[in-house]
Amino acid sequence: MKRNSRLSLALHTLSHMAGEPDRVRTSSDIADHAGTNPVVVRRVLGKLREAGLLTSEKGHAGGWRLARPPQNISLADVYLALDERLVASDEISEAPACSVEHALQKRVSGVLEEIEQSLVQKLGETSISEVRGA
């Protein structure tokens, strides 16, 4: 696949679903369309299910479905569901000796965190249906 594939796969799948919200889709179908395989699809969509964006049903005629109207699912919902933190680092900074150094590190982290937040806000301005729609 490519980089940022989880986010890309999630958006792709959700946008696709937004077109026919009532249709149930299997992991295999989705995997075929996305050029990947069913287990990867389940892994990614599982995250979206945990976040309440999708529902899944086992057994015969089971599969995936949107849990809410697509107008009501923002890109930020998806991003957060996947635990992506593209900008900020989930740092385990190994406590630098110097305290000035430590202060500076917190500065940098703080700035990146702000940028991360503004990214999420920006993502919140677009819904899945808009991705498909126009």
Partner DNA sequence: GACTAATGCAACTACAAAAGTTACGTGTAT
Partner DNA sequence: ATACACGTAACTTTTGTAGTTGCATTAGTC
Binding site for its own copies (CB under 8 A): 2-5, 7-8, 11-12, 15-16, 33, 35, 75, 86-94, 96, 98, 101, 104-105, 107-108, 111-112, 115, 118-119, 122-123, 126, 131-132
Rg (CA), the chain: 18
Q: Mark residues 30-69: x for contact with DNA by CB under 7 A, - for none.
A: -----xxxxxx-xx-xx--x------xxxxxxxxx-----
User: Min. distance of Cβ 26 from its own copies in angstroms?
Assistant: 17
| Residue-by-residue DSSP string for 36-63 | S-HHHHHHHHHHHHHTTSEEEE-STT-E
| Distance in angstroms (rounded) separating the CA atoms of residues 33 and 88 | 32
